[in-house]
Amino acid sequence: MSLQTKTQINMNIQSKILASITVISLFLFSSCEKGIFAPKQDINDPDSAKGEMSISITDAPIDDANVSAAFVTVTQIKVDGKVLEGFSQAKTVNVLALQNGNSATLFSQEVAAGTYSKIELVFDAAKDENGNAPGCYIQNADGSKEALTFDGKQTAEVSFKKDNFKVAESGKIDLVVDFDLRKAVKNEGGKYSFVSDNKLSTAVRSEVRSETGNIKGKIENKAAANGDLVVYVYKKGTFNAESETKGSDGVKFPNAVTSAMVQADGSFTLAFLPKGEYEIQCEKASNQGGVLTGLDLLLQLESSSNIESVPVTAGSETSLSLNIKVGGLLGL
């Protein structure tokens, strides 16, 4: 190989290296501009511009006729790993009372304006807000309490990632945390406990209240069911009767977005749903020894609306009038 050829090869290699360095530099610069490698925003930053953030909690029903209340104690709230300094005192909440669109405020205060994504709730199973034991528990219809633990532990951090949400300068944002008891608590052999840590995170979701809508319905002939009814809502096309009614790890209908107990007059509200299209399912809860099993009791519903494609838009309420097809059980 001639000297001239070697020189040309070396120059080509140097040019490729230089081009690669340039591309990498441009990527890093662009990433910093987009904040990919930038330091995370500190929600407690005293020097940042401020906006108001509220965090509320709501719930879906638990599948057990003996349960009259379900209390959880929240000791900390974290946003992107930072403990909210304004949440300084533990709060014990009966989440079972927060159904059909009702919610309770956990936190409302000014925080550093910015864009955030991850929320964590820290629960204490040992002590409630007054220092009494237990901190998380089921209350039965007879008034007795049954303590709930997290895989044998007394505390748990439940994290759930929300699409980036922005606290605007001088603005206000209201986040709603749906703590779905039906997915969070299992009953095995008459003993209650929280599901495993990884499944507990899937039992909690967070939405920006202003970006959600509700489905408000009424089952006109509810009395024909001669029992309790639970309505479930799924993203359109995602319901599988066989797997959902069997469930997993003691939890039925695990992929439902949320659910609602049908009231005595047939009314129900499926609340805080992000915009999209949904399908509705209804279960007649079968009470066997106090436990709502719901096995093979998925009812057929009739409506002038298409209940397999129910539209929900932000800030609005979709109304449904339904009837149970008498004698109609889905073949499971």
Q: What is the pLDDT of residues 266-303, one digit of tens each?
A: 999 999 999 999 999 999 875 543 344 444 478 999 99
Question: Is 75 within a domain?
Answer: yes
Q: Is there a contact between 80 and 45 (Cβ–Cβ < 8 Å)? A: no
Check residue 40 and give its pLDDT.
63
Does residue 152 sit within a domain?
yes
325 within a domain of the structure (yes/no): yes
Q: What is the pLDDT of residue 41?
A: 82
The Cα 325–Cα 39 span in angstroms is 57
Residue 214's pLDDT band (cuts 50, 70, 90): very high
Helix (H, G, I), strand (E, B) or coil at 45: coil
Mean pLDDT of the chain: 85
Domain count, the chain: 1
> Residue 57: inside a domain, yes or no?
yes
307 falls within a domain: yes
Q: How crowded is the C-beta side of 199, counted as CA atoms within 13 Å? A: 20
Whether 14 maps to a domain, the answer reads: no
Q: Domain for residue 39, yes or no?
A: no
Given a cut of 70, whether residue 46 has pLDDT beyond it is yes
For the full predicted model, state whether its pTM sits above 0.85.
Answer: no
CA distance linking residue 295 with residue 118, whole number of Å: 36
Query: Does residue 4 sit within a domain?
Result: no
Q: Domain range holding 166?
A: 50-329
Coil vs helix vs strand at 182: helix
CA 332, CA 252: separation in Å to the nearest integer? 14
Strand (E) or helix (H) holding 321: strand 317-329
